[in-house]
């Protein structure tokens, strides 16, 4: 793919950021950047704070010190309501547990990213069917999410992500329930998001996904040893 690290503008800029839970320092001194068109893998053992880092970049949680600028906005200075708006407008998040509302239909879940769009009902329905098709699902708009398999639910979550025009895409272990075919599809779709200018950060151990990432950030659990993080330009 045509990723040009030097020429692309930074979308995520973290400088000496730290996160604590009570007396425990999860990570500190974390400095990295993710540029438009770049896909970064976030690695580290269980409990090293990968999900928390994605949550901070997505403004779902706050950092305790340092500067975190995402899509031109300094997240350190934001209050709760502003954070929620920032998340809604600028972030696409593929959650580990999919974050679909299980009692709702697929249609109602896919309406969420289109809520503030002025398109008419028929256009929205056509878009929803298009993204379902992209992830290999047919017209399942009327089905309740709880009636779908884990892999199908994960693909509905991916379809919802595709409907959102976000500058920052965050994905938490997105291939965990996917077979090789669907993992390949997910990688292809995330790289397409990169090509349209998004910055992508993925928490993953999956070698299928790691080889597709342009850069890598490693976290170590600071309760076990010193926290270090280093961006590695792998390609
Ligand atoms: N809101 C919270 N309050 C207190 N501790 C928390 C909170 N959120 C996460 N933690 C703790 O912070 C640590 C890091 O959690 P996190 O989920 O970010 O790690 P992770 O690297 O994504 O782990 P895994 O690979 O197992 O998903 C864990 O020990 C977790 O219990």
Residue 222, pLDDT above cutoff 90: no
Q: pLDDT tens digits for 198-219?
A: 999 999 999 999 999 999 999 9
Note whether 43 and 217 are within 8 A (CB).
Answer: yes
Element at 86 (helix H, strand E): helix 80-90
Query: 3-state secondary structure string, 27-67?
Result: EEEEEEEEECCCEEEEECCCCCCHHHHHHHHCCCCCCCEEE
Higher-confidence residue of 60 and 223: namely 60
Band of residue 223 on the pLDDT scale cut at 50, 70, 90: very low
pLDDT at 235: 30
The CA 137 to ligand 1 mean position distance, Å, reads: 33
Band of residue 226 on the pLDDT scale cut at 50, 70, 90: very low
Whole-angstrom distance, CA of residue 235 vs CA of residue 230: 15
Q: Taking Cα atoms as reference points, which of 116, 159, 170 lies closest to residue 136?
A: 159
Angle between helices 180-195 and 150-163 (to 10 degrees): 10
Higher-confidence residue of 117 and 26: namely 26
Instruction: Show the CA angle centred on residue 144, arms to residues 142 and 150, nearest 5°.
Output: 120
Lowest mean pLDDT among 108-117, 126-135, 140-149: 108-117
Band of residue 146 on the pLDDT scale cut at 50, 70, 90: very high
pLDDT at 3: 61
Among residues of the chain, what percentage have pLDDT more than 90? Answer: 63
Higher-confidence residue of 65 and 227: namely 65
7 lines ligand 1 (CB under 6 A): no
Domain boundaries, the chain: 10-233
154 lines ligand 1 (CB under 6 A): no
- Beta strand pairing call for 10-21 and 65-70: antiparallel
The chain-wide mean pLDDT, for the chain, equals: 88
Note whether 95 and 177 are within 8 A (CB).
Answer: no
Q: What is the ipTM of this complex?
A: 0.95
Q: pLDDT tens digits for 9-42?
A: 899 999 999 999 988 889 999 999 999 999 999 9
Q: Nearest residue CA, atom 1 of ligand 1?
A: 21
- For residue 116, list its beta bridge partners: none
Q: pLDDT tens digits for 75-115?
A: 987 888 888 889 988 999 998 878 889 999 999 999 988 88
pLDDT at 208: 94
DSSP assignment string, 125-173: HHHHHHHHHHTT--S-TTSBGGGS-HHHHHHHHHHHHHHS--SEEEEES
47 lines ligand 1 (CB under 6 A): yes
95 lines ligand 1 (CB under 6 A): no
Question: The whole model's pTM is what?
Answer: 0.88
CATH superfamily of this structure's domain 10-233:
P-loop containing nucleotide triphosphate hydrolases (3.40.50.300)
Q: Choose the residue to mutate in 25, 52, 54 for probing ligand 1, maximizing ligand atoms within 8 Å of C-beta.
A: 52
Q: Nearest residue CA, atom 29 of ligand 1?
A: 47
50 lines ligand 1 (CB under 6 A): yes
pLDDT at 162: 93
The maximal CA–CA distance of the chain, rounded, in angstroms, is 55
């Amino acid at each position: 793919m045509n990723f040009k690290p030097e020429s692309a503008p930074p979308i995520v800029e973290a400088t000496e950021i730290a996160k604590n839970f009570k007396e425990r320092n999860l990570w500190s001194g974390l400095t990295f950047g993710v540029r438009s068109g770049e896909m970064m893998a976030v690695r580290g053992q269980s409990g090293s704070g990968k999900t928390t880092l994605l949550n901070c970049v997505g403004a779902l949680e706050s950092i305790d010190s340092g500067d975190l600028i995402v899509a031109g906005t300094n997240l350190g200075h934001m209050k709760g309501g502003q954070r929620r708006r920032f998340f809604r407008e600028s972030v696409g998040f593929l959650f580990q547990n999919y974050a679909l509302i299980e009692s709702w239909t697929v249609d109602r879940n896919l309406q969420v990213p289109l809520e503030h769009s002025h398109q008419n009902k028929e256009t929205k329905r056509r878009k929803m069917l298009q993204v379902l098709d992209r992830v290999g699902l047919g017209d399942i708009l009327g089905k309740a999410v709880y009636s779908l398999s884990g892999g199908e639910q994960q693909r509905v979550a991916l379809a919802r992500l595709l409907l959102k025009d976000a500058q920052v895409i965050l994905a938490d272990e997105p291939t965990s329930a996917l077979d090789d075919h669907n993992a390949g599809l997910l990688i292809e779709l995330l790289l397409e998001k990169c090509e349209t200018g998004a910055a992508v950060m993925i928490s993953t151990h999956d070698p299928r996904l790691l080889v597709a990432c342009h850069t890598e950030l490693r976290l170590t659990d600071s309760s076990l040893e010193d926290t270090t993080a280093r961006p590695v330009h792998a390609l």
